[in-house]
Structure 1
Amino acid sequence: MIEKTLPLLKYFHALAQTGSFTKAAEQLCISQSTVSTQVRKLEQVLSVKLINRKNKHQFALTAEGESLAQEVAYSFGRLSSQLDGLQQVSPSSAKLTVSASTSLGIKFVLPVIAKLRQQYPDLTLHLQENAGSKHFFEDKIDIATNYGVPDNTFHSVYIGEVEKCVVASDAYIKRFGMPKGLSELARHSLIAQSHGKQEWQTLFAKSDVDIDSLDVLSVSSNIAKLEAVQLGMGIGLLPHYLLKSSEASLIILPEFELQSLRESLYLICEKRRKDEHKIQWVMDKLASGCQSLLTFDNKG
């Protein structure tokens, strides 16, 4: 039974501790319905009613619920203290999962992880590629990258600004010519990320270009976008960290003002975990490494 109840106790503990489905959901970064569902599952596993639901948002602990809440709070408190003690001894032996989009993960985060592994052989950082919503608890994510200022349910560390570049292959430019100005650019084949940011639309927004008439090829990721550009399939908008200064086959088109497309990059974690020593330590190390790489790329 312990294998079934342990994962569910976290939800019950958060609910009993906060006294609110809303606050428990915020603390765990999940929906209220998920909290309610998981507590019901715990009641079913134990065959005991733990809370009396007054309505969708209000509840009261039963006598059994009160007893279990006290025991869980005591046990979790002891466990937390023990874990904190271990973390204080050696955060460099932490085992954590970092989530990032495919391009950020492969070209940006992974090189930093590799350097940290060389410096700290006992450190284990798993990289999880995730371009969609970040579900920290469900997906077992400890730290994630985030474009734009995170909302206040997360603790964040600022890394820097990611610039965008309009890029084409040398072969493409030789065949179709160098576009000068937005009106000429709009006549070319453009490459965009499907289900991504509407970057071309943003770039053309202040022009007279008919956005609906653009010839746009959609690909799945920035990595695929880079590959399509290298193959001469069109012109792409790419983050600068994907471009190597030694990549002779690519040409950066300098004509275009892209300040509106630059994005702030952050590392984030659940706010409830921001004081965990291993989380603080790894986030600082990752941020420092990423900042160095970002600065190098900007100069490059």
Structure 2
Amino acid sequence: MDWDKLRVFHAVAEAGSFTHAGDVLNLSQSAVSRQISALEDVLQVPLFHRHARGLILTEQGETLHKTVREVFSKLEMTQTLLTESKEKAAGRLRVTTTTGFGNCWLMPRLHKFMSANPDIDICLILEDNDLDLGMREADVAVRMHAPRQPDLIQRHLADFHLPIFAAPLYIEKYGTPKSLDDINAHQLVLFGEHHPPVAHINWLAEAVRHNGAKQQARLEVNSMAAMASAIASGLGIGSIPTYAAKEFPDLVQILPEVPTPTVDAYFVYPEELRSSKRVAVFRDFLMSELGIR
């Protein structure tokens, strides 16, 4: 197995077709196909099932893909660390976080970081599912839960509360609830997905039960930023993190005396990037913006 064939195999496995892999590698479709056939001849096993709709990895192909993906991820990380400036933070930093935190909190502040660090380019990946940092799907992450992978370094950033909010327009039309029981008669805005990116985001529906059943939403939407916008437009009452609510200063907090859950935010990165200056300055930026000393 030589590197050229493995590089082609990796591109094909990621792209799912010879044509798309050829576009990435700047090779013809036939050249890519020949390289894969040659690799299959060397290994004496089929690596792909050929279908009219594309390519599917065989069991043997899956095994090889897992190993090759790990190898190329480690090589990419090593190259990044070797080329990083020893005098100052420089290079490309891939940051992932939830769509809600990214849109509502990080994006309005990111210009400060980039102005202070002109030699760092940011690739921001907004994804509510956790990307695999060990597999180099991103360099660092801001997550709304403690990391589940044991080989990641974590730094607790903040506890964000989940108050109850409504718009002045909604209050004027429907009145202000005086207790959780009163919310039974009101319209709720909830996060509409089975696995929301923030724990307890729909706690209000659980706390406000009608005839023993969870309160139904007037509106469900699978975006934290959209939830905040919907509440601000007067569609209903909802519970959102404080970082999302701050984008709408006219929002009114409802029932402030009621205890609400919190969201724990963590800065997470792999052990291999412990000495990276880019990671260090980005971590310091987050802590500074959150008022952490």
TM score, norm. by length of structure 1: 0.66
* Alignment coverage as a number of residue pairs: 241
Are positions 1:284 and 2:280 aligned together?
Answer: yes
- Secondary structure of the residue that 2:234 maps to in structure 1? coil
Query: Structure 2 unaligned runs (5+)?
Result: 11-34, 46-66
Match of 1:175 in 2: 173
In the alignment, the residues of structure 2 paired with residue 7 and residue 91 of structure 1 have an alpha-carbon distance, to the nearest angstrom, of 35
In the alignment, the residues of structure 2 paired with residue 238 and residue 170 of structure 1 have an alpha-carbon distance, to the nearest angstrom, of 16
Residue-by-residue CA offset, 1:99-150 (whole Å, 9 max, x unaligned)? 1122211222224432121112111011111112313477731112211211
Q: Is the 8 A contact 2:8 2:36 kept in 1?
A: no
Distance 1:113 1:44, change over 3 A: farther
Match of 1:202 in 2: 203
- Within 5 Å, which residues of 2 pair with 1:84-233? 84-90=81-87, 92-136=89-133, 140-151=137-148, 152-195=150-193, 196=196, 199=200, 202-203=203-204, 205=206, 209=210, 210-233=212-235
In the alignment, the residues of structure 1 paired with residue 130 and residue 74 of structure 2 have an alpha-carbon distance, to the nearest angstrom, of 30
In the alignment, the residues of structure 1 paired with residue 132 and residue 74 of structure 2 have an alpha-carbon distance, to the nearest angstrom, of 24
- Secondary structure of the residue that 1:98 maps to in structure 2? strand
- Secondary structure of the residue that 1:109 maps to in structure 2? helix
Distance 1:154 1:47, change over 3 A: farther
Q: Which amino acid aligns with 2:214?
A: D
Match of 1:268 in 2: 268
Residue-by-residue CA offset, 1:255-286 (whole Å, 9 max, x unaligned)? 45344x20110122234x233x33xx333333
- Within 5 Å, which residues of 2 pair with 1:28-107? 45=39, 47-49=41-43, 84-90=81-87, 92-107=89-104
Structure with more helix by fraction:
1
Distance 1:50 1:84, change over 3 A: farther
Residue-by-residue CA offset, 1:204-235 (whole Å, 9 max, x unaligned)? 65676534343441012011111111211001
Q: Which amino acid aligns with 2:166?
A: A
Match of 2:258 in 1: 257
Q: Which amino acid aligns with 1:257?
A: V
Distance 1:207 1:245, change over 3 A: closer
Match of 1:293 in 2: 289
- Compare 110-119 and 186-195 and name the one that shifted more: 110-119
- Compare 151-160 and 210-219 and name the one that shifted more: 210-219
TM score, norm. by length of structure 2: 0.67
In the alignment, the residues of structure 2 paired with residue 213 and residue 254 of structure 1 have an alpha-carbon distance, to the nearest angstrom, of 17
Query: Structure 1 unaligned runs (5+)?
Result: 10-40, 52-68
Match of 2:240 in 1: 238
In the alignment, the residues of structure 1 paired with residue 217 and residue 185 of structure 2 have an alpha-carbon distance, to the nearest angstrom, of 8
- Compare 173-182 and 94-103 and name the one that shifted more: 94-103
Residue-by-residue CA offset, 1:129-177 (whole Å, 9 max, x unaligned)? 1112313477731112211211213222221111112110001001111
Q: Is the 8 A contact 1:43 1:49 kept in 2?
A: no
